[in-house]
DNA sequence: CGGTCGTTTGATTACGATCAAACGAAGTGG
DNA sequence: CCACTTCGTTTGATCGTAATCAAACGACCG
């Protein structure tokens, strides 16, 4: 079923950072049955209200979780990247409370909930790693609440850009202070509770102030210290060992 | 160390709903060592940035998690009630990214992280329940993001009141549609990203429209169907079996 | 009976939303 | 190869929700 032993590597790498694994844990994890699935930008993995029977591990590409309100407004509640798990909530509870959609073309490992649950039950270390990963996710959620609740547009965008820099660095996608950001300004708006027009103006201001520069789909942080300060950003909540210039 | 075998009952009751427990699990959980601790309204359990060595199970009373921004603004990111765990994140990662403070006088069971981790490692069912509880927490977080990000003040307050009704009903603190809400309007404001002045006016409007009534510290939902609709509230994300009139 | 805390009311301001339109780049088809 | 469409970014003008500032009021408490 698995195409290659190392396909799950990005997920394993992320989970291994959270708790010490034994070789037995590692090989048990690697033998988890899965099916590779490629998706295109914009494709839906699952929809709010759907009963979902399988989890997915994002191996490459980006996805986002969002919710559409009755009046049509959309809120993006999470951006997921390589190594992140998808549909855990919906898989384990059989109910999705948000939509999962691809930001870019992506490849993922589809894992049956039953298999994942069985593995977790047999291997306390693995279940613990999954639990800790969920705890980190909730720390990120809580930062986003703070972001949209109390920061002004300027700090809000700055904070998001800081978070992405650290998370991407953690998976080797941001070596210096440049990373590719596969989101349109409208998507940034939906992630920050702003409008795309205001995101545009805010990005212009961040550029004008020398905090960042950005072409179409990539961002460079020009002054990390200052961006960090204006965002009120403290990377501790991401619980990564890496640090930033 | 434990004063009474049944002290942890509220937490056990909540965790038991998430996955089937064996008697062995139950008794292992009950024999978890803990120390009862009483706190007063406004007391701090932990502060952002602190290294925290112990978890806590809230047995009665209310607590809230919040973060203070450099400019002094405050965002409440979570309200915790009887049966909820506190300081999981900070305990397991040794770093708190938010403050934990009491909303009311509260009593809690202080549990060493080591003991909890050991129990979780020995008892897959218990660790699974803890994991699922964390997943539900993150579902709540994600709803709050939607709340502050895309709902207007009216729907925002309405949504919060709906959520509280269901959560309180789940722990037997909201039998009909009345519950005591131990938050000042300023705290409601900090939870919804509004100002206390605007919360006041919004509550007045909700009352005027016949959606709720409220005296000093308690709320009655007068028209659940309409409140729910105006809030765009769907209780599914709370994953509770109970339903509402 | 002051003093503190929380709620309420009023007047004014501002940040970001909304509406509208032009522009540039990329992709499609004749 | 060039209209033509589509999508995303950019700019400008105006509007509105909620913030801010200020003060009075009521309840509880020592």
Cα separation, B96 vs B113, in Å, equals 14
Cα separation, A155 vs A194, in Å, equals 12
Q: Closest nucleotide to B201's CA, by C1' atom?
A: C8
Residue A37, beta-bridge partner list: A108
Residue B191, helix vs strand vs coil: helix
Look up the pTM and report it: 0.96
Cα separation, B45 vs B106, in Å, equals 11
Taking 50 as the threshold, does the pLDDT of residue A2 lie above it?
no
Residues 6+ apart with CB under 8 A from B2: B8, B31, B32, B33, B34, B109
**Contact state of A150 with B95 under an 8 Å Cβ cutoff:** no
D29 C1' – B105 CA distance, angstroms?
18
Measured N-to-C along each axis, helices A153-170 and A224-231 cross at an angle, to the nearest 10 degrees, of 120
Taking 90 as the threshold, does the pLDDT of residue A209 lie above it?
yes
Residue B26, helix vs strand vs coil: helix
Q: pLDDT tier at B2 (50, 70, 90 boundaries)?
A: very low
> What does the mean pLDDT of chain B come to?
95
What pLDDT is stored for residue A122 in this prediction?
97
Give the one of A69, A97, A130 whose C-beta lies nearest to B232's C-beta.
A69
Q: Is the CB of A198 under 7 A from strand C?
A: yes
What pLDDT is stored for residue B239 in this prediction?
93
D3 C1' – A127 CA distance, angstroms?
59
D10 C1' – A137 CA distance, angstroms?
35
- Mean pLDDT across the stretch A122-130? 98
Instruction: Please check whether residue B234 touches A, CB under 8 A.
Output: yes
What pLDDT is stored for residue A217 in this prediction?
83
**Residues 52-111 of A with CB within 7 A of strand C:** none
Question: Residue holding tokens 């909930």?
Answer: A113
Q: How many residues does chain B have?
A: 245
CA B198 vs CA A93, A136, B186: distances in Å: 37, 33, 10
pLDDT tens digits for B103-122? 999 999 999 999 999 999 99
Cα separation, A159 vs A151, in Å, equals 9
Cα separation, B79 vs B191, in Å, equals 9
pLDDT tens digits for B165-210? 999 999 999 999 999 999 999 999 999 999 999 999 999 999 999 9
Q: pLDDT tier at A245 (50, 70, 90 boundaries)?
A: low
Strand ranges for chain B from DSSP E: 35-39, 44-46, 54-60, 63-68, 74-80, 85-86, 99-102, 106-112, 178-180, 212-214, 218-221
Give the one of B117, B138, B236 whose C-beta lies nearest to A137's C-beta.
B138
- In B84-143, the residues whose Cβ lies within 8 Å of chain A are 88-89, 92-93, 95, 97-98, 117, 120-122, 124-125, 127-128, 130-132, 134-135, 137-139, 141-143
What pLDDT is stored for residue B232 in this prediction?
97
- In B160-199, the residues whose Cβ lies within 8 Å of chain A are 192-193
């Amino acid at each position: 079923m698995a195409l290659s032993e190392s396909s799950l590597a990005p997920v394993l790498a992320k989970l291994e950072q959270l708790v010490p694994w034994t070789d037995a844990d590692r090989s048990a994890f690697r033998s988890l049955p899965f099916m590779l699935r490629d998706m295109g930008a914009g494709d839906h993995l699952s929809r709010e209200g759907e009963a979902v029977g399988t989890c997915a591990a994002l191996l490459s590409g980006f996805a986002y979780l969002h919710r559409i309100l009755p009046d049509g407004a959309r809120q993006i509640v999470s951006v997921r990247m390589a190594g992140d798990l998808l549909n855990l909530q919906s898989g384990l509870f059989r109910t999705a409370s948000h939509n999962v959609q691809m930001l870019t073309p992506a490849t993922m490992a589809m894992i049956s909930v039953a298999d994942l649950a069985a593995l977790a039950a047999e291997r306390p270390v693995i279940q613990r790693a999954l639990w800790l990963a969920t705890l980190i996710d909730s720390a990120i959620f809580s930062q986003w609440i703070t972001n949209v609740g109390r920061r002004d547009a300027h700090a809000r965008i700055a904070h998001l850009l800081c978070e992405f820099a650290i998370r991407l660095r953690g998976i080797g996608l941001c070596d210096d202070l440049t990373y590719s950001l596969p989101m349109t300004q409208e998507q940034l708006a939906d992630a920050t509770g702003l409008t795309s027009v205001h995101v545009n103006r805010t990005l212009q201001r961040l550029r004008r102030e020398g905090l960042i520069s950005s072409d179409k789909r990539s961002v460079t942080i020009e002054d990390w210290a200052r961006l960090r300060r204006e965002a009120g950003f403290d990377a501790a909540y991401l619980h990564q060992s890496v640090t930033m210039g």
